[in-house]
Each structure stands twice: as structure tokens, then as C-alpha cells.
């Protein structure tokens, strides 16, 4: 039953649901796979970004792999988990949800030293260079700034000061903290440092493997689904645009019948096609292709349909009234044709008649409520 429900909940709902459900029947009901799937399929952009950030840290093996429920809470957390006050919108590099002030307060800067200033028995450089100390560099500084490009770069790290615990006293967040680094600095030999690292590295290969498996499997799936969705959306948009074109031409035909014959040329129009493409050359080639399509079609409507179907997804067909004055008068019709050409609604017909009247009035032609079809 649980698995069926999960499909329809977004991550926030899933979190509250799991909390209340777990109180009814205890035991692990949530798996990493479920959480990852739910986040990628039902989560919004923000949640997906958080997921990717956490995943990057899991791959780098710099954090304690979050348990499913912790992962879910991390994805949906709205406030800083340190001060519980500030709203947050991303997960930090420490696998924690911290606001900027708390992040600044709780981290220290470690700069790699240049070789000439390495003096003591054990230096921070030695510890960081150990493969099992996975620290992610934050940025670089130049050893000799006045040399510019030719200067050697020194890496700068930011490390959380104190280990982070959850309410059950389990470690969360980064594996290496500043406290441990300074403890290692005071050890008598490098062998002791290596032993210290060995003793303090958690065994989480199983959890890590499961996380990576879930992520690699689902990310591919979600990509396919998104692609399909985008295609469906573009087909829908094209259909809508074609309908809009038909409505406008019908409305103009309606207007033509109600305008004196000597004014009808004022409603002559061109069909224009436009789309956005950065590359000028590709744009010109596409334009030529579209022009050929339009020429090959047997009717204007068929041409528009062909252009929309085979043009780029962001292509727009617009109707361009040649006479500026008339275009100004019937602008509301051109911008929202569906409103003006719905036969079932009387007010739209009235609107169209009003437009016809306005055109006549503008060109000082006699007008009545309804002109006969033949003037």
C-alpha cells in the first residue's frame, strides 16, 4: 500500500506521510531508491538540484551517507538546521542545510602552505594530501600574486569546525571536521595520523553503492520522461498556434463581409513566421527551408500548418495587416483571436461587429448594424 501512495506524493508530502505512518507501524519502510525516485519524479527544480548536490558529495565520499528519512528531510528542509530561523534554499557542501550566517560562523578556512614555509613534523598539507581525507577545495589563491599567470596556485578549503549530530546522536554531514584535523596536527608521527584516519573513516560502502545505483538508474529514466514531456508540450503548442491562426482568418473573413467593398483592401494581410535562433547562418538556412515549404503548400492554411509542424519548436506564425491604421483598430482581435471568434458566444460576435463599425467610422464610410454580405 505504501509503495502505491508514494507515486502520487511530492517529497514534502511524502516526508510528513512517512513521519505519521512510521509512528503507526515501526520498521524501515522507506528506502533510498524510493526517496531518490520520488525526488526526481515528483520534486520541483529546487529539490532536484539539492538531490544532485547531495549526490556529488556521496560520490566524493565526503559526507556520511544520509539514511532515507534523513535524505528526505534534507531535500524538503525549509529552515537552517543550525539556527532553525533563517530560510534556506540549497544544501551546503557539507551535506547539511545551513544558512549563510551559520555557515560562516561554523566553518574555518584552511589554506595550503607554500613548500618553503613547511617546517614542522606534520603539516596540514600532509594530512590533506592523504587519499582518505576527502576535502573538496573551495578556490585557489596565487602563491605570488604579482607573478600572475606564472605563479603557483594554492588550494583553499573550508571545513566545518565541529562534528554534527542528529537527535539520536548519529553523525551527520562531513566526515572530516576542523576539530579532527587539528587533533591530527598534534599527533607525534605520520603513522599515528594514518592510524587516526583509518579509525575515523566510517564503513559506508554498502549505503554508498545503493545510493549511486539508485541515482544512475533513475537519472536516465527521468531524462527520457522529460524529453517525451517536452515533445508533447511542443505538439500541443503548435496545435494551439494553428487554431489561433484559423480563428483569426475566420474573424477577418467575418469583418470583410461587413465592410464596404472599397475598404476591403485595408484588411489585406501577410503571414509572417518568426523564431529565435542565435546563429545567424543557421537561421537563414531554416528561413529558406520554411519559405520553400510555404510555397509548396496548396492553401494558406496548409502552408501555415506545414510551417508550424516542420519549423523549430519556438516558431510563431503571425498575421500582419498591411495597413497600419486598420491594424491598430483590430489589434485586440489579432492579439486574442479566440475571444473574438467563438460562435457559441454572442458577445464575441457583437465585439466583431463593433470592430467592423469602428473600421467604417475611421474611414468615414456609412455603416449600419449589419451590412449585407454584398455591398
Judged by beta carbon, residue 161 or residue 226, the one nearer Zn ion is: 161
CB of 96 to Zn ion, least distance (A): 10
- What is each CA distance from 127 to 11, 114, 141, 204, in whole angstroms? 39, 15, 19, 22
In total, the chain counts a number of residues equal to 375
CB of 100 to Zn ion, least distance (A): 8
Judged by beta carbon, residue 97 or residue 128, the one nearer Zn ion is: 97
Q: Tell me which residues touch Zn ion (CB under 5 A).
A: 80, 82-83, 86, 99, 102
Across 198-279, the runs of DSSP E, i.e. the strands, are: 269-274
Strand partners, 278: none
CB of 341 to Zn ion, least distance (A): 56
Judged by beta carbon, residue 81 or residue 255, the one nearer Zn ion is: 81
CB of 103 to Zn ion, least distance (A): 8
Q: Report which of 263, 206, 208, 205 is spatially closest to residue 95, judged by C-alpha positions.
A: 208
Judged by beta carbon, residue 34 or residue 106, the one nearer Zn ion is: 106
CB of 90 to Zn ion, least distance (A): 13
Judged by beta carbon, residue 85 or residue 285, the one nearer Zn ion is: 85
CB of 43 to Zn ion, least distance (A): 23
Judged by beta carbon, residue 50 or residue 258, the one nearer Zn ion is: 50
Judged by beta carbon, residue 106 or residue 248, the one nearer Zn ion is: 106
Q: Report which of 195, 257, 212 is spatially closest to residue 51, judged by C-alpha positions.
A: 212
- Contact predicate 329/355, CB 8 Å: yes
Show the cell assigned to 46. 529546487
Q: Output the residue with the shortest Cβ distance to Zn ion.
A: 80
Burial of 207 per CB tally in 10 Å (0-12, 13-18, 19+): middle
Strand partners, 160: 107
* CB under 8 A, 24+ apart: contacts of 216-223: 218/33, 218/36, 218/37, 218/40, 218/41, 219/40, 222/40, 222/41
CB of 89 to Zn ion, least distance (A): 13
Amino acid at each position: 500500500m505504501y509503495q502505491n501512495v508514494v507515486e502520487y506524493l511530492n517529497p514534502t508530502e511524502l516526508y510528513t506521510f512517512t513521519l505519521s505512518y512510521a509512528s503507526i507501524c515501526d520498521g524501515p519502510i522507506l528506502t533510498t531508491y524510493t526517496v531518490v525516485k520520488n525526488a526526481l519524479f515528483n520534486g520541483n527544480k529546487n529539490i532536484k538540484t539539492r538531490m544532485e548536490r547531495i549526490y556529488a558529495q556521496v560520490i566524493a565520499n565526503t559526507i556520511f551517507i544520509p539514511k532515507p528519512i534523513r535524505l528526505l528531510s534534507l531535500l524538503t528542509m525549509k529552515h537552517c538546521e543550525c539556527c532553525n530561523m533563517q530560510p534556506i534554499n540549497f544544501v551546503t557542501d557539507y551535506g547539511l542545510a545551513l544558512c549563510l550566517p551559520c555557515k560562516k560562523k561554523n566553518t574555518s578556512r584552511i589554506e595550503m602552505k607554500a613548500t618553503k614555509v613547511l617546517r614542522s613534523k606534520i603539516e596540514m598539507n600532509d594530512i590533506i594530501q592523504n587519499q582518505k581525507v576527502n576535502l573538496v577545495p573551495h578556490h585557489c589563491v596565487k602563491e605570488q600574486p604579482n607573478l600572475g599567470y606564472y605563479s603557483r596556485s594554492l588550494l583553499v578549503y573550508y571545513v566545518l569546525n565541529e562534528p554534527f549530530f542528529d537527535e539520536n546522536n548519529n553523525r551527520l554531514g562531513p566526515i572530516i571536521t576542523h576539530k579532527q584535523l587539528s587533533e591530527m596536527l598534534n599527533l607525534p608521527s605520520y603513522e599515528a595520523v594514518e592510524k587516526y584516519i583509518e579509525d575515523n573513516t566510517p564503513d559506508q560502502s554498502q549505503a554508498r553503492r545503493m545510493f549511486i545505483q539508485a541515482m544512475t538508474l533513475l537519472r536516465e529514466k527521468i531524462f527520457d520522461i522529460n524529453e517525451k514531456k517536452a515533445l508533447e508540450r511542443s505538439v500541443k503548442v503548435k496545435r494551439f498556434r494553428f487554431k489561433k491562426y484559423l480563428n483569426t482568418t475566420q474573424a477577418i473573413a467575418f469583418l470583410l463581409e461587413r465592410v464596404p467593398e472599397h475598404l476591403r483592401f485595408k484588411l489585406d494581410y501577410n503571414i509572417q513566421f518568426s523564431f529565435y535562433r542565435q546563429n545567424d547562418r543557421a537561421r537563414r538556412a531554416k528561413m529558406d527551408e520554411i519559405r520553400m515549404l510555404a510555397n509548396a503548400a496548396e492553401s494558406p492554411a496548409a502552408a501555415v500548418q506545414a510551417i508550424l509542424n516542420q519549423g523549430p519548436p519556438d516558431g510563431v506564425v503571425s498575421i500582419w495587416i498591411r495597413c497600419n491604421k486598420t491594424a491598430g483598430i483590430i489589434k485586440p482581435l489579432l492579439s486574442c483571436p479566440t475571444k473574438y471568434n467563438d460562435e457559441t458566444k454572442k458577445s464575441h460576435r457583437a465585439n466583431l461587429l463593433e470592430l467592423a463599425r469602428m473600421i467604417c467610422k475611421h474611414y468615414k464610410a456609412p455603416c449600419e448594424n449589419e451590412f449585407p454580405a454584398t455591398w
